[in-house]
Structure 1
């Protein structure tokens, strides 16, 4: 759990899962921070093995990650009936001692937007950022216009766009989410979804934070979470040597995406402008 006011770069590292306890007055929630890699689904399965997560809430703070692994993760979440929101779990001092709270100043970028879509109920707080863009070959995302591409590369991209489209519609999203994402090339800043766009894409299904986060006692200063806009970028972990990359910057103003610097699941994600 992060400390309030800390500079957090964890959304650029491989995704980790934590169970946040807020007993005795609420059930708790799942913190999901970082990018989706080839190891993320396995890590989530291990995390879930000893817990009853049905109907739990996932609080996302992520720069995106692997297209196909995020799709697999999203289908697991929907099967469990998980709820999703964007936020950052921090510890605050209260009258009854340190307590975990969810702050809205978080980022859900690239494939994270599609993980958000996997929630049975979805809420985006005012102050959160959801950002989107095109999928791209991960090993050529640093300078995509100068790179060369083969017919095999184009086949991989088109195949994964098809998989992403099916997932979007299966999760109840609209074609507008794909349109807004695929309109943004990797050499441009990610597009941050406005409140109307969040609704148009069906990324938001409720305006009530209580629909996704547990009730808290009045002496606990819970951060107010109201609906807001968002952005994104993604990566596809496949058997092919040139997987797609969809990861987005985590700074307030999109700059360069910082991917995991170490191999994860046999894939090193390349930075994206």
Structure 2
């Protein structure tokens, strides 16, 4: 994808879960798409090798508002692609509740794998991904080409009920799911109803809606508290679900969730990934974020951000490879950030491995009982390739003697990791 087009697809800033979003008095950036979002469209998309997971290069993009014909279009689309077992990535502000439940039932019937993610299409060129021209491409029904992103992707309102219906649910650590009360639209015929008549009709409609959702949740074996949380928020607001709630409500019960390495072309190219994990007996998930940047094509910095107080040292280890982070880490509140400098050879060696581990054991310590925190390298080679293409050419570091000195941790600018 051209660098400019990738920059247009830059994900939104992550939002804090567990809070209620309320409408503002003036327009502001929001995780919800505009109310005039196009009806949800389904597109077959092909990407690079392993772009949607190991061995996966094609997926179904489901993007837009859930309208009155969404379930019928999904059934027709699935029939058109035949027996291909492809993951479905949803990116939707929500919409029609009954259609969402029907779609969830269909996905359960088809034993589908569902995820949340934004698809950017190469065929759109420099056109906005949510623009009319790009929307028409998504609705054309032909195979397209693109990339899928999780950071900044949303599944709000009625959309989480679709996810809940599928038997295989995989939600990346950096997506947003949010719920609220349904909006009921009343239509009266034969005269103007009184206020009392409207109130009674509204109550009956809400009771019917609640029963419909509760029956759906119960049949799926999920926690009915999901409905309680949704009903606690007015339709005008939005309650972002925490990762603990996502697990509790059976939207994704995994105790460890790891995103692939992704490249983002912003003002400065970066590669990043996020890992969420929760050990047996723990109530909360722990977040570990990794970010890779370059100074040039032979000088890189890897940062690890996690909860403070985990250990006095940190190293990236894999087999005979051991790369020590600078100590002590930089601290901000209850978080610590560790920095590690790598040259091009070290970076390529790390990317060629299937995975590595973060170890708090001091160097040269023989401690068989010391465990490492595993970090997969899924997507790292592709992200590193794009990162290097965005970096300036490497330059030799020349000292007063006139002899170039190779990049090493001892000759790295300390301020860059602090």
Asked whether the two chains share a fold, i.e. TM above 0.5, the reply is yes
- Which residue of 234, 237, 246 maps to 1:198? 246
Matches within 5 A, 1:1-273: 3-6=5-8, 9=33, 12-22=37-47, 26=56, 28-52=58-82, 55-90=85-120, 100-138=147-185, 149-187=198-236, 189-206=237-254, 207-208=256-257, 224=273, 226=275
- Report Cα offsets for 1:39-75 as digits up to 9, x if no partner: 1112112212221356431111111111111111110
> How much does 1:222 deviate?
9.4
Higher relative contact order (CA 8 A, sep 6+): 1
Q: Summarize deviations over 1:121-141 as a string: whole Å, max 9, x none.
A: 21222221111111121479x
* Alignment partners' CA distance in 2, 1:116 and 1:35: 15
Say how many residue pairs are matched: 208
Change (3 A) 1:43 1:185: same
Kindly indicate whether the alpha-carbon contact (under 8 Å) linking 1:84 and 1:118 is maintained by their aligned counterparts in 2. no
| TM-score (norm. length: structure 2) | 0.44
Q: For residue 137 of structure 1, give the secondary structure of its aligned residue in structure 2.
A: coil
Label 1:152 to 1:100 Cα distance change in 2 as closer, same or farther (>3 A). Answer: same
SS of 1:177's equivalent in the other structure is helix
Query: SS at 2:253's partner residue?
Result: coil
> Residues 209 and 57 of structure 1: is their aligned pair in 2 closer, same or farther, counting only changes over 3 Å?
farther
* Displacement of 1:227: 5.6
Secondary structure in 1 matching 2:39: coil
**Unmatched segments (≥5 aa) in structure 1:** 93-97, 141-145, 214-220, 229-273
Question: CA-to-partner distance for each residue in 1:211-260, whole Å, 9 max, x for gaps?
Answer: xx9xxxxxxx99746569xxxxxxxxxxxxxxxxxxxxxxxxxxxxxxxx
Q: 1:138 to 1:45 in 2, by over 3 A?
A: same
Q: Please give the alpha-carbon distance, in whole angstroms, between the structure 2 residues aligned to 1:171 and 1:224.
A: 31
What SS class does the counterpart of residue 8 from structure 2 fall into? Answer: coil
> Over aligned residues, Cα RMSD in angstroms?
3.5
Normalising by structure 1, we get a TM-score of: 0.65
| Alpha-carbon distance in structure 2 between the residues aligned to 1:135 and 1:147 | 21
| CA offset digits 1:76-102 (Å, max 9, x no partner) | 01100111111112358xxxxx85233
Secondary structure at the aligned position of 1:38 is classed as coil
How many angstroms apart in 2 are the aligned matches of 1:88 and 1:118? 20
- Measure, in 1, the Cα distance between the counterparts of 2:185 and 2:271: 39
C-alpha contact (below 8 Å) 1:123/1:204 kept by paired residues: yes
Whichever structure has more strand as a proportion of its residues is 2
1: CA distance between counterparts of 2:196 and 2:152? Answer: 35
TM-superposed CA distance for 1:20, in Å, is 1.4
- Unmatched segments (≥5 aa) in structure 2: 12-32, 50-54, 123-144, 188-194, 261-269, 278-418
The 1:89–1:152 alpha-carbon spacing in structure 2 relative to 1, beyond 3 Å, is same
Bigger radius of gyration: 2
Shift of 1:186: 2.2
Contact 1:131 1:193 in 2 (8 A): yes
CA distance in 2, matches of 1:177, 1:101: 28
CA deviations on 1:188-219 (whole Å, 9 max, x unpaired) are x3111111111111111334569xx9xxxxxx
CA distance in 1, matches of 2:274, 2:43: 21
